[in-house]
Amino acid sequence: MGRGGRGPGGERFTFRVSRSMRNFESSVATNDRESAAVFDAQGNQLGEVISGDRLSVDIGPAIDAGVLPNAVLTHNHPGNNGIPPDLNAFSMQDLMIASQYNMRAIRAVTATREFTMERPAGGWPPPGLVRANYNAISRATADESRDRIIRGEPLQQVVADRNNSVPIAFSRAIADRYGARFTERPRRR
């Protein structure tokens, strides 16, 4: 359901990655700091590139400019947060922003992967539901981790596995539950 080319009502998804978006992503994919840019439906960049720190980027300038509704926010996820690039999909904050500002799509790129989540045909779930879904997945992985620790698996490995699995499981769950199109693929260079 969530990974196909149609929404829950049969609507075709229309989002395409523009050359300017791809160029921006290529320029930041391997950076050690997060950066973001906002694009309209035709792929034109809206405003300046926003630079952040190792773990986040403050999109306040894009919010203040009023450019987020129906736009595409793309940003990088640096590899310095401990999550392997193949699993470093969307955070709770990423999808709460997409929901709150009714964005057309949100993208994240790593050194090796690109992730896209497109707005469901029926609209994004409210930010509170995004948070609830994230918390449910986090609790489920915590329960699984507890069981692994009880079985005697090394604590450090169990914690790393749990931290690594939450972003990709969360992204897939939002797509499956709400009809969003979630794609994950090797990064195009």
User: From the DSSP assignment, how many helices (H) and strands (E) are in the chain?
Assistant: 5, 6
Residue range 82-90: average pLDDT?
Answer: 78
Give yes or no for a contact between 106 and 74, defined as CB atoms under 8 angstroms apart: yes
In what helix (H) or strand (E) does residue 183 lie, and over which residues does it extend? strand 181-186
- pLDDT, one tens digit per residue, over 91-120 is 999 999 999 999 999 999 998 999 999 999
Q: Among residues of the chain, what percentage have pLDDT more than 90? A: 57
State the pLDDT at residue 81: 61
Confidence of residue 161 (pLDDT cuts 50, 70, 90): confident
Compute the residue count for the chain.
189
Confidence of residue 159 (pLDDT cuts 50, 70, 90): confident
State the pLDDT at residue 13: 53
State the pLDDT at residue 14: 61
DSSP per-residue string spanning 109-125? E-SSEEEEEEPPTT-PP
Give yes or no for a contact between 101 and 127, defined as CB atoms under 8 angstroms apart: no
Task: Spell out where 52-148 has E strands.
Answer: 72-76, 105-109, 113-118
State the pLDDT at residue 2: 35
Residue range 41-66: average pLDDT?
Answer: 90
Residue range 173-177: average pLDDT?
Answer: 93
Does the structure show a pLDDT above 60 at 172? yes
Q: Look at strands 45-51 and 35-39 and give their pairing.
A: antiparallel
Residue range 150-166: average pLDDT?
Answer: 86
| Mean confidence (pLDDT) of the chain | 87
Task: Name the more confident of 22 and 161.
Answer: 22
